[in-house]
Amino acid sequence: MVFSSPTFLYLFLPAVLLGYAVLPRALRATWLLVASLAFYAFGEQSLVAVLVGSSLVGWLCGNWAASADDVRTRRLRTGLGAALVLAPLLAFKYSTWAWDGWLSLADGLGFDALQWPLGPELGLPIGVSFFTFQILSYVADVGAGRVPKERSFSRFLLYVSLFPQLVAGPIVRYVDVRRDLLSRRFDVHEASLGLTRFAVGLAKKVLVADSLAVPADRIFALEAADLTTGAAWFGLVCYTLQIYFDF
């Protein structure tokens, strides 16, 4: 679900804002958590388990590091926790590449007669880099003593999975948002500024970036023999501005 889609603009976002406004304060965090997990599951289905599982590992590792009695033990636990948090990202991104490299090496050593299995084909979860490094920031901040450990897993999971930044960033450090997780307030003026900023960003995406994508795609699809210098430069400029306004 992308932010410029009708499903997000006319169904998901109004429902989330309405629910947040009418629910009691004690239930708002739970509502945001359910909405964020549903947002991720809409596109990734069962891979939402990777998000929840990685968050649980990071939360446990961070709290384990924070409970160390001395600095050396704390640093050791922080390092181990960081390795465990990074493991799923490395597996999803590089397992196929590593296995294919091993098969090439084995073939070069003369083991081509062996019936090697095909490399693993792991679907890359959307936003895995973003939420992995957010979890890692918690382990690092808690392990270094910059913030106290988070006792509530549901609140920590909300920090990791909050839908506005879950699939496209930016990476938000736990130390920067801890206070907002513990206590939030609604301000009409700030909400108005936020909606204005969202509208401007949406216009940049839909009116500028998506419009520039049309000529850029058509020019990039041309054969080299049909591509003039002027067309090539025009396509390059369109694509450059498309990427800029998309972000």
> 178-200: per-residue pLDDT in tens?
888 887 777 788 888 988 998 99
Say how many domains are in the chain: 2
Domain housing 85: 6-186
Q: What is the DSSP string of 133-191?
A: HHHHHHHHHHHTTSSPPP--HHHHHHHHH-HHHHTT-----HHHHHHHHH-----HHHH
Q: What is the pLDDT of residue 224?
A: 84
Q: What is the pLDDT of residue 123?
A: 67
Hey, what are 241's tokens? 């501005």
Residue range 20-42: average pLDDT? Answer: 90
Please answer whether residues 61 and 75 qualify as being in contact, where contact means their C-beta atoms are separated by less than 8 angstroms: no
Q: What is the pLDDT of residue 105?
A: 62
- Encode pLDDT of 72-125 as tens digits: 899 999 999 999 999 888 888 776 666 666 566 666 665 554 455 554 556 677
Hey, what are 1's tokens? 């679900």
Please answer whether residues 32 and 158 qualify as being in contact, where contact means their C-beta atoms are separated by less than 8 angstroms: yes
Q: What is the pLDDT of residue 114?
A: 47
Within-domain flag for 12 = yes
Within-domain flag for 1 = no
**From the centroid of its chain, how far is CA 235?**
30
Q: Which of these three, 138, 161, 186, is where a domain ends?
A: 186
Q: Which of these three, 186, 209, 238, is where a domain ends?
A: 186
Q: What is the pLDDT of residue 113?
A: 43
pTM, 2 dp: 0.76
Q: Which of these three, 186, 212, 235, is where a domain ends?
A: 186
